[in-house]
Amino acid sequence: MSHMSAGDRYSTGLDRSTDRQHVASWRTLYRTAGAAAAVTAVLIPIQIAVFIAYPYPKTVAGWYMLLQDKPLVGLVDLDLVLVVDNVLLVVIALAAYVALRHLSPSVMAIATGLWLLAIGMFIASNPAVQMLKLSHHFAAAPTDEQRSQAIAAGEAVLANWEGSAFQVSYVVGQLSGILIAIIMLRTRSFGRLVPYALIIGNVVGFGYYLPRVGLAVSAFSGVVLWVWYIAITRSFLKLGRNRDAATDRGSESG
């Protein structure tokens, strides 16, 4: 039978007090991340429904017509809502880093940095605003030559949409998500659904590169990640209101 000295008891109590102070100091971030995840969980079904109801036009002129007739639908098809999702993901990534950094500081710093890089590259590569402006030019063009110029400009924008920036952001984002999920498996704070859904969603996401079925597989990964957003909403909100738990530093770092 082991006996704890007065000094040990004091040290343990001090550690627990430090943990509580750590949780309290980041409570606003956790709550904000939970709210961001909840908003994204609401937006994902809307995006999927629009993608199903309004498939991508096959021509630039078709995009322009869609953007003129149904601008909101066209912008959703051009992933503008995904841009919003990615802005919200910045808060989620930062909260995940704060919650998990004590488990593996180096891996979390690398994974979070790559995640933020992927987010920035995805946002920068999105063509929604440019295509909307070009659709206005196309609709107002008085001559066939000017309309042809607008179509040529649209073709260039769409070609860049899935160019190097998008491809790098997609692959780096998937890999960083998997790394963070692996670290999540080392703590009880997020349960098991959160890390496993993140791993499965990102691994399946690589199916985007399969010929013919890539978009369908990618859409399925979106459904899995929708489950992840719902689950991590609960986890972050719990961390944001729990004064004593929030990290397993005391039990897992020793």
pTM assigned to the model? 0.83
pLDDT for residue 74 is more than 90: yes
pLDDT for residue 243 is more than 70: no
pLDDT band for position 25 (cuts 50, 70, 90): confident
pLDDT band for position 246 (cuts 50, 70, 90): very low
User: Could you tell me the CA-to-CA distances from 158 to 50, 70, 78, 121, 151 in Å, in that order?
Assistant: 19, 19, 10, 16, 10
First to last CA, the chain: 20
pLDDT band for position 3 (cuts 50, 70, 90): low
pLDDT band for position 23 (cuts 50, 70, 90): low
CA–CA distance, 159 with 157 (Å, rounded to integer):
5
Q: What is the pLDDT, as a whole number, of residue 21?
A: 56
For 42, the token pair is 């609401």
State the average pLDDT for the chain. Answer: 88
Residue 50 in contact with residue 70, Cβ under 8 Å? no
pLDDT band for position 100 (cuts 50, 70, 90): very high
